[in-house]
Amino acid sequence: MTKGKTFIISGPSGVGKSTVLHALLERRKELYFSVSATTRPRRAGEEDGVHYHFLDVDTFREWIAKDEFLEYAEYVGNFYGTPKRFVDEAMDQGRDVILDIEVQGANQVTGKRPETVTIFIAPPSWTELERRLTERGTDSAEKIQKRLLRAKVEFQTAHTYDYFVINDTVENAVGELEAILTAEHCKPQERMEIINGNN
């Protein structure tokens, strides 16, 4: 059995990452979607281990000290991080792992594990991104402008990623992600190991 690979998906707020990933996970049931750990309080309806791994601050700091995270950050007074253990367990079972993390977190992960495959999801245009953010109806005009500004900053790092997917339609974006997953398992080293293992 070949070991699974880790794939990072990054992209600006409003690009439709959640929708695309939900559709991808529906089509590829064998994928493991990494659940982050957080110190923020659990909200109504959230389940531990499903939405987040909920930890208290002391436990989170303990995990940091033991190098238990692939990446972590503090955001608005709470910690968020990607636990190594669950990612490694899934990969050892031959499952590919999807990490939905921001640019800074992606840099932390690839610093520790350069073999991680990175994918940047972009909108078809800035006008379309602004339209999607406006249609969500969750942010003020000022906050939307801040999100667009941040998106343009994140876009400056897109050339450092292995792949670049434009989310013009969910169907196209999912198709490209599936093609990337397939291509990454067609590398000569992995294929030759399969053949040698079958002899």
| Neighbour count for residue 148 (Cβ, 10 Å) | 16
Q: Cα(34)–Cα(45) distance, rounded to whole angstroms? A: 19
For 45-101, the pLDDT digits (tens) are 999 999 999 999 999 999 999 999 999 999 888 999 999 999 999 999 999 999 999
Q: Cα(29)–Cα(171) distance, rounded to whole angstroms? A: 17
- 């995990």: which residue's tokens? 63
For 88-147, the pLDDT digits (tens) are 999 999 999 999 999 999 999 999 999 999 999 999 999 999 999 999 888 899 999 999
What single-letter amino acid sits at 183? A
User: Looking at the whole model, is its pTM more than 0.85?
Assistant: yes
